[in-house]
């Protein structure tokens, strides 16, 4: 951050894993209706914002995959600033500059960009003294993208529609994860396009429900029951692009994971361990198998975007 004026306001926001992702048929407007079970994990993005002396909003990005993040108006933190100026009807809010510290892989299926958008909403609400409630911020977040409301909400929640309509689920315990990242990201639109091709017009128009057994498992906090219930309808499409990920899911199970699943449109594979110590062992084991990307530890549920 250079050339800014005044002190910054910071916020953090979590990555998400889809414990379930059920997908219906493509609608005429191009979207696929979803039923998903979001789970926030403590892999946190940090966004700092401060007034800028420059002529326009600007963003600097550091950390993981920083060079893959767009610096133009498509960046979700810049879109968050535009949205709040628009909705607060206060066009006179002076330019700001953002610093994003990335921990979440870009295009990894963990909604890192959405976490940045959520953190930006929280930080700007504070910087500009807007006094918007969390409920109002969550409603506004839906205009930035379908995963942004959950990045504000955090915890574990069922998402409907495009994923933006949230119903919280009270999780019964901490889940310990090993995340296998892959530098070759999967484009979400391409994954959905492949999903359409594979379905070839067959399959249900409405997304299948989240399995009741999985919801019960999350409420009870039993990692083996959660692991057995992990489901992602996009996996066949993602595996069509990246067959080695199917192998990775199988290897994780053999290595002692309670379950493993591609998160969202991938390519990150989320492996659930029975407990924290077992997750460390699993991570060590998978490091020798998974050399294409990183092996990260995380746990959830984590809180939603908050000032920091």
For the annotated catalytic residues, the residue numbers are 16, 147
Measured in degrees and rounded to the nearest 5, phi and psi for residue 45 equal -85, 145
Of 142, 92, 149, 62, which is closest to residue 71 (Cα–Cα)? 62
Q: How far is the CB of 303 from ligand ATP (least distance, A)?
A: 19
> Which range binds ligand ATP by CB under 6 A, 106-114, 129-137, 239-247, 271-279?
106-114
203-221: burial string, b at 16+ Cβ within 10 Å, e else: eeeebeebbeebbebbeee
Q: How far is the CB of 85 from ligand ATP (least distance, A)?
A: 18
What x/- string results for residues 56 through 85 when contact with ligand ATP is judged by CB under 6 A? Answer: -------------xx---xxxx--------
When binding is defined by CB under 6 A, the residue of 23, 106, 119, 140 that contacts ligand ATP is 106
Helix, strand, coil distribution of the chain in percent, nearest 5: 35, 25, 40
Residue number, 186 or 214, with CB nearest to ligand ATP:
186
Residue number, 69 or 127, with CB nearest to ligand ATP:
69
Residue number, 157 or 258, with CB nearest to ligand ATP:
157
User: Which residues, at least 6 apart from 179, have a Cβ–Cβ distance to it below 8 Å?
Assistant: 17, 41, 43, 110, 263, 268, 269, 270, 271, 295, 296, 297, 298
By CB under 6 A, residue 269 contacts ligand ATP: no
Residue number, 77 or 273, with CB nearest to ligand ATP:
77
Judged by CB under 6 A, the chain residues 159 through 188 that form the site for ligand ATP are 188
Of 129, 162, 123, which is closest to residue 144 (Cα–Cα)? 162
> Which range binds ligand ATP by CB under 6 A, 104-112, 124-132, 219-227, 238-246?
104-112
Q: Are 236 and 205 within 8 A, CB to CB?
A: no
- The footprint of ligand ATP (CB under 6 A) covers 69-70, 74-77, 100, 106-114, 116, 147, 188, 264-265
């Amino acid at each position: 951050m250079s050339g800014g004026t005044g002190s910054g306001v910071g916020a953090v926001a979590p990555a998400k894993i889809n414990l379930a992702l059920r997908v219906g048929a493509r609608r005429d407007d191009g979207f696929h209706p979803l039923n998903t079970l979001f789970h926030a994990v403590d892999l946190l993005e940090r966004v700092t914002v401060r007034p800028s002396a420059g002529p326009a909003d600007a963003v600097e990005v550091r950390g993981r995959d920083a060079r893959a993040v767009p610096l133009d108006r498509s960046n979700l933190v810049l879109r968050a600033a535009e949205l709040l100026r628009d909705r607060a009807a206060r066009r006179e809010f002076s330019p700001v500059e953002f610093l994003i510290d990335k921990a979440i892989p870009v295009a990894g299926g963990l909604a890192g960009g959405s976490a940045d958008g959520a953190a930006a909403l929280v930080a700007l609400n504070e910087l500009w003294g807007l006094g918007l409630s969390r409920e109002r911020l969550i409603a506004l977040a839906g205009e930035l993208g379908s995963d942004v409301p959950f990045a504000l909400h955090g915890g574990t929640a069922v998402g409907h529609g495009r994923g933006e309509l949230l119903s919280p689920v009270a999780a019964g315990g901490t889940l310990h994860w090993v995340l296998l990242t892959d530098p070759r990201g999967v484009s979400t639109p391409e994954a959905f396009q492949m999903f359409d091709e594979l379905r070839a017009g067959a399959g249900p128009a409405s997304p299948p429900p989240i399995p009741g057994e999985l919801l019960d498992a999350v409420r009870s906090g039993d990692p083996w029951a959660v692991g057995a219930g992990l489901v992602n309808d996009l996996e066949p499409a993602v595996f069509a692009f990246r067959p080695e990920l199917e192998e990775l899911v199988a290897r994780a199970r053999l290595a002692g994971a309670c379950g493993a699943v591609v998160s969202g449109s991938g390519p990150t594979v989320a492996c659930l361990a029975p407990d924290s110590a077992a997750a460390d062992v699993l991570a060590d084991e998978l490091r020798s198998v998974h050399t294409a990307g990183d092996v990260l530890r995380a746990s959830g549920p984590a809180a939603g975007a908050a000032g920091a």
